[in-house]
Each structure stands twice: as C-alpha cells, then as structure tokens.
C-alpha cells in the first residue's frame, strides 16, 4: 500500500502505456489538489489572501478556490493577519473544529511573530504558540505570489505524507492529538502563554 514503486519499473511500464500508481499516491494526489481553506481574515494580510483568490492570481488553479465558511468543511487554515490576544482562543477553537487532516499556513509577519505590533500589549507573538503551523510566510504583507508559493510548499508536504509505517502522517496516528487546548483570558495575558507541546522555539545557547 504505502510501498514505493520502483521508478525505473514505472517509467518502463509507462513507455508501454501502463500507468501504475499506489494507494498513497492516489490519496495524496486527490488531497493536495482539493485543499479547501477556511474563510476568514484577520487584518491587512487578508486583503492579499483575497487577491490570491481573485482572478488575477487565481488560487483556483491549485484547486483551492473553495473557501469554506465553516471549519467543519475546511482542510486548511490560512492565518492571514494580526492575531490579537482576544482573537487567539477563537482561532484555536476553529482549528480544533476542523476535521483531520488539517493544515495551517501562517501568513505574514504578524501571524508568524507579531510583526510590526510585536510590542503591543494585545498582540499574540505568533499563532504557532498554540497550534502547529505547516508553512510560514514572512512579509508585511506577503504578495499573493508568496501565498501561492506557500500553497505549493503545502502541496509538496501533503504529497510526501505516508499512509503507513513509522513515519505515517499525523492524522492517521491514533495517538496524535487533533485538538489543542484553548487558551483562556487571564488577568494580564492569555493563560497559558504558549502550549509547550506545540511551541518549541529554537533555544539560544550562550557559551
């Protein structure tokens, strides 16, 4: 099922007019070409996301034009914009409500780190503190081409996911969680300030 087909054999067969595929390839091919994003935007980056969906950049070429208004029908969450601390619990809850397999693109400086508002008392310094992010796009705002690029990266990632074996995709792993704890409004900040299971920033070691 998940076994790789020998490339030489495959091209040999293809020359004879026989097209071979595996369950895994078929499954990933279908998934990566019909990623439905969740329809929501948080700040200026959302305008670029809208431009990506409109005719000039046309994300429909990648099968992702079906922006879903309900998390129950979405595969991809594009966090496009500044995440305020007031909004963060709602975003985590929306992520929790999406069915597996689900992916997150953090779009723009704000979504990946807080961006220009990093010093703001009410701005979350990156959505990856609470939910796992698959693709980060830097930029303020990233151009639609950048979002398309991130999208293609995500397609590449989906294409490489395994159906079986020790490295199988997270959504097929019974132990892997599908929901993450929703942060609560504390006295001064969100509680907890980050989910340690998800947020593993590189540590700076001083010697």
Partner 1 sequence: MSLHPYFEIVVFVGVALIFPVMPLILAWMWRRFFQPPKPGAAKNATYECGMESLGEAQIQFRSQYYLYAIIFLIFDVEAVFLVPFAVAFTGLPVGAFLSILVFLLLLIEGLVWAWGKGCLNWAK
The Cβ of residue 65 has, within 10 Å, a number of other Cβ atoms equal to 14
- Binding partner 1 by CB under 8 A: which of 21, 54, 178, 186? 178
Which of positions 135-174 make contact with partner 1 (CB under 8 A)?
A: 163, 171-174
Q: Report if residue 33 touches partner 1, rule: CB under 8 A.
A: no
| Residue 127 or 148 with smaller CB distance to partner 1 | 127
Site for partner 1 contains 21 (CB under 8 A): no
82 binds, among ligand SF4, partner 1, none (CB under 5 to 8 A by kind): ligand SF4
81 binds, among partner 1, ligand SF4, none (CB under 5 to 8 A by kind): ligand SF4
Choosing from 14, 33, 34, 90, the residue that interacts with partner 1 (CB under 8 A) is 90
Number of residues that bind partner 1 (CB under 8 A): 21
DSSP the chain: --PPPPHHHHHHHHHTT-----HHHHHHHHHHT---BB----STHHHHHHHHHSTTT-GGGGT----BSSGGG-SEEEEES--BTTTHHHHHHHHHHSPSS-EEEEEHHHHHH-GGGTT-TTB-S-GGGTS--SEEE-SSSPPHHHHHHHHHHHHHHHHT-BSSSTTB-GGG-TTS-S--PPPEE-SSSEESSS-TTT--PPPP---
Which is closer to partner 1, CB of 42 or CB of 59? 42
Q: How far is the CB of 178 from partner 1 (least distance, A)?
A: 4
Q: Exposed (0-12), middle (13-18) or buried (19+): which is 111, by Cβ within 10 Å?
A: buried
Half-sphere exposure (CA, 13 Å, Cβ side) for 125?
10
43 binds, among ligand SF4, partner 1, none (CB under 5 to 8 A by kind): ligand SF4
> Which CB atom, from 108 or from 183, has the smaller least distance to ligand SF4?
108
**94 lies in the binding site for partner 1 (CB under 8 A):** yes
In the complex, least distance from residue 86 CB atom to ligand SF4, rounded to whole angstroms: 16
Q: Which residues here bind partner 1, judged by CB under 8 A? A: 70-72, 89-91, 93-94, 96-97, 99-100, 163, 171-174, 177-179, 182
């Amino acid at each position: 099922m998940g076994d790789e087909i020998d490339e030489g054999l495959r091209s040999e067969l293809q020359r004879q007019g026989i097209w071979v595929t595996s369950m895994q390839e078929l499954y990933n091919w279908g998934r990566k070409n019909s990623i439905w994003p969740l329809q929501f935007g948080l700040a200026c980056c959302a305008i670029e996301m809208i431009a990506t969906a409109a005719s000039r950049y046309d994300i429909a070429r990648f099968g992702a034009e079906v922006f879903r208004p309900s998390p129950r029908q979405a595969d991809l969450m594009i966090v496009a914009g500044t995440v305020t601390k007031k909004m963060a619990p709602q975003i985590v809850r929306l992520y929790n409500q999406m069915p597996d397999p689900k992916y997150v693109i953090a779009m723009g400086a704000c979504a990946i780190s807080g961006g220009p508002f990093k010093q703001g008392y009410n701005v979350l310094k990156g959505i990856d503190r609470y939910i796992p992010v698959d693709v980060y796009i830097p930029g303020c705002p990233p151009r639609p081409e950048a979002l398309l690029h991130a999208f293609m990266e995500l397609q590449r990632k989906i294409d490489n996911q395994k159906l079986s074996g020790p490295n199988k995709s997270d959504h097929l792993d019974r132990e892997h969680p599908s929901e993450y704890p929703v942060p609560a409004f504390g006295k001064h900040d969100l509680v907890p300030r980050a989910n340690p299971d998800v947020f593993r920033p590189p540590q700076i070691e001083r010697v």
